[in-house]
Amino acid sequence: MEILLDNIGKILEGFQVTLILFAGGTVLALVVGTVLASMRVSPVPPLRLVGATYVNVVRNTPLVLIFIIVVFALPELGIQFSFRLFAILAVGAYTAAFVTEALRSGVNTVQAGQAEAARALGMTFGQTLSHVIMPQAARSVIPPMGSILIALLKNTSVAAGFGVIEATGTLRELGRDFPQALYWLFFGIALGYVVLVLLVSAVFRQLERRLVVVR
Amino acid sequence: MEGAQAQQGDPAASGAGRPLVVLDKVNKHFGDLHVLRDVDLTVHAGEVVVVLGPSGSGKSTLCRTINRLESIDSGTITLDGQPLAAEGKALARLRSEVGMVFQAFNLFAHKTVLENVTLGPIKVRGLDKAAAVKRGRELLDRVGIGEQADKLPAQLSGGQQQRVAIARALAMDPKVILFDEPTSALDPEMINEVLEVMIQLARDGMTMVVITHEMGFARRAANRVVFMDLGEIVEQADPETFFSSPQSERGKDFLSKILSH
């Protein structure tokens, strides 16, 4: 038990990095996912193809492989970021594929009449999507989006294998220094993740309550 | 029937102005189904045209082709002299000139009543928000919904929602408004409040194409009744003439079915 209290500063620092990865990954996944979902429902076949290809390739690739590609391939191309930024890119790009599919299922729940009414007013496809369809689609996919972001939060732990000392990386370092207290460390770090996931769930429960679409 | 056809080309007979919506030899198929057959129709500025016909006659499709929510296979449609564009910005611009009121209201479910009415003017016309809100409130007052401006559509009754939908169409200052069975989804006691608004619009000189089964509305507000069956315009005449002495067998048959009870 004392082992956790003795190293509380280090553990909190680790979780702080986890939160940075989570926040960066979430922003990236939501932005890229929204763009890709828009492409997937657009009337332009090449855009639909790009969206579908991204989803199928990225969703079917293990996250660790994506990390390897980002961390080792991008520097080959002359793109050099910090490991932390690479990690955000990797989890964000990976999660974007899931966000895309969740949003697309949300788009399908929006009644066709909504888009017709928008088009009848003279809105372009982009305006119809951004002012009428996507806001309603997003509201209807809040529960699955919560699950996706919880998965993203836990997936940030893969970054520990790629030079980022976040919560799981901290666990590994402390475990090496205090092998006799390994179980306590596991317990403490796992508890930290549980607390964060519960926080994310609570946020989504609130969102669901406030933004539910009344039809 | 010949007499009715002749009347179509004579704007003076229906007390109307320049040709605003002109359909020429319009054909449309849904798969093997030929839903519009060589439809010619001219709607003049200020005219109120009621389209009648049995279900499946193509009247709703006809209405939807006018702002190209349905594409057509052949023929031409012009709006105020301009051919209807196939897609893109030009089509969007033409659509903004044509209001539409749907059977299912189709109010934007996530926006308040006022936002429903201001969204088009702000995003499509580029009106600044204050001006759009001012005009939106005026229009909501005009259709008797001013009190409900900050509610969501789902909190309103069907009749109120449809009046909001009319205000939303009016907010774009359209040249013509299409009504696709505007009262068919309403409870009986709410039909009149919507029809009253429509009759007032007609009196104010709005050009309207109305698909409806409401004979009372046709009698009180229409300049002309167009009767469709099996994708064709079978006959057209002023309401009194059509209701009292339909020329075609199909017209007689249709009226006997709807007026018998």
What pLDDT score was predicted for residue B260?
61
φ, ψ dihedrals at B25, nearest 5°: 50, 50
Name which of A119, A124, A136 is nearest B109 (Cβ-Cβ): A136
B33 - beta bridge partners?
B30
Number of A to B CB contacts under 8 A, please give it: 67
| Run of H or E residues at B39 | strand B33-44
Under 8 Å between Cβ of B121 and B178: no
B179 - beta bridge partners?
B101, B210
Which has more pLDDT, B202 or B16?
A: B202
Sign of CA dihedral A170, A175, A176, A177: positive
The string of DSSP codes covering chain B is: -HHHHHHHT-GGGGT--SEEEEEEEEEEEETTEEEEEEEEEEEETT-EEEEE--TTSSHHHHHHHHTTSS--SEEEEEETTEEPPSSHHHHHHHHHTEEEE-TT----TTS-HHHHHHHHHHHTS---HHHHHHHHHHHHHHTT-GGGTTS-GGGS-HHHHHHHHHHHHHTT--SEEEEESTTTTS-HHHHHHHHHHHHHHHHTT-EEEEE---HHHHHHH-SEEEEEETTEEEEEE-HHHHHHS-SSHHHHHHHHHHH--
Please, what is the average pLDDT of chain B? Answer: 89
What pLDDT score was predicted for residue A213?
58
- Examine the pLDDT at B13 and tell me if it is beyond 80: no
Chain A residues within an 8 Å CB radius of B161: none
What pLDDT score was predicted for residue B86?
74
Dihedral (Cα; A116, A120, A125, A126), 10-degree rounding:
-110
Provide ipTM, 2 decimals: 0.87
Shortest Cα–Cα distance, A131 to chain B (Å): 9
B44-59 pLDDT, tens per residue?
A: 999 999 999 998 899 9
Tell me whether residues B92 and A135 touch, CB distance under 8 A: no
B85-127 pLDDT, tens per residue?
A: 777 788 888 899 999 999 999 999 999 999 999 999 999 999 9
Cα of B65 vs its chain's centroid, Å? 11
- Examine the pLDDT at B10 and tell me if it is beyond 50: no
Apex CA B213: angle with CA B193 and CA B3, to 5°?
A: 125
What pLDDT score was predicted for residue B261?
54
Domains contained in chain B, CATH given: 2-97+175-259 (3.40.50.300), 107-173 (no CATH)
- Examine the pLDDT at B202 and tell me if it is beyond 60: yes
Alpha carbon distance, N-terminus to C-terminus of chain B: 26
Shortest Cα–Cα distance, A94 to chain B (Å): 30
What pLDDT score was predicted for residue B30?
92
Distance CA B69, CA B154 (A): 25
B residues 160-199 lying closer than 8 A (beta carbon) to A:
165, 168, 172
Tell me whether residues B108 and A215 touch, CB distance under 8 A: no
Name which of A114, A122, A139 is nearest B120 (Cβ-Cβ): A122
Sign of CA dihedral A98, A85, A178, A197: negative
Distance CA B136, CA B65 (A): 28
Task: Name the class of domain A16-165.
Answer: mainly alpha
Chain A residues within an 8 Å CB radius of B113: none
- Testing the interface with B: which of A111, A121, A124, A136 to mutate, by most B Cβ within 10 A? A121
- Examine the pLDDT at B5 and tell me if it is beyond 60: no
Shortest Cα–Cα distance, B246 to chain A (Å): 34
Among B224, B169, B254, CA closest to B50: B224
What pLDDT score was predicted for residue B118?
97
Apex CA A203: angle with CA A200 and CA A208, to 5°?
A: 125
Tell me whether residues B172 and A121 touch, CB distance under 8 A: yes
Tell me whether residues A135 and B110 touch, CB distance under 8 A: yes
Q: pTM of this prediction?
A: 0.84
Longest dimension (CA), chain A: 70
B97 interfacial to chain A (CB closer than 8 Å): yes
Chain A residues within an 8 Å CB radius of B98: 120
What is the residue-level pLDDT of chain A in tens, covering all 215 positions? 788 888 899 999 999 999 999 999 999 999 999 999 999 999 899 999 999 999 999 999 999 999 999 999 999 998 888 999 999 999 999 999 999 999 999 999 999 999 999 999 999 999 999 999 999 999 889 999 999 999 999 999 999 999 899 999 999 999 999 989 889 999 999 999 999 999 999 999 999 888 775 55
What pLDDT score was predicted for residue A202?
95
B106 interfacial to chain A (CB closer than 8 Å): yes
Name which of A122, A124, A214 is nearest B109 (Cβ-Cβ): A214
Tokens for B21, please give them: 């919506």
Under 8 Å between Cβ of A99 and A37: yes
Tell me whether residues A123 and B120 touch, CB distance under 8 A: yes
Tell me whether residues B69 and A116 touch, CB distance under 8 A: yes
What pLDDT score was predicted for residue B259?
72
- Residues of A contacting chain B (CB within 8 angstroms): 111, 113-114, 116-124, 127, 131-132, 135-136, 139, 213-215
Under 8 Å between Cβ of B44 and B236: no
Tokens for B111, please give them: 């926006």
Give CB contacts under 8 A, 24+ apart, made by A210-214.
A211/A138, A211/A139, A211/A142, A212/A139, A212/A142, A213/A136, A213/A139, A213/A140, A213/B109, A213/B110, A214/B109, A214/B152, A214/B154, A214/B155
Q: What is the domain partition of chain A in residue ranges?
A: 16-165
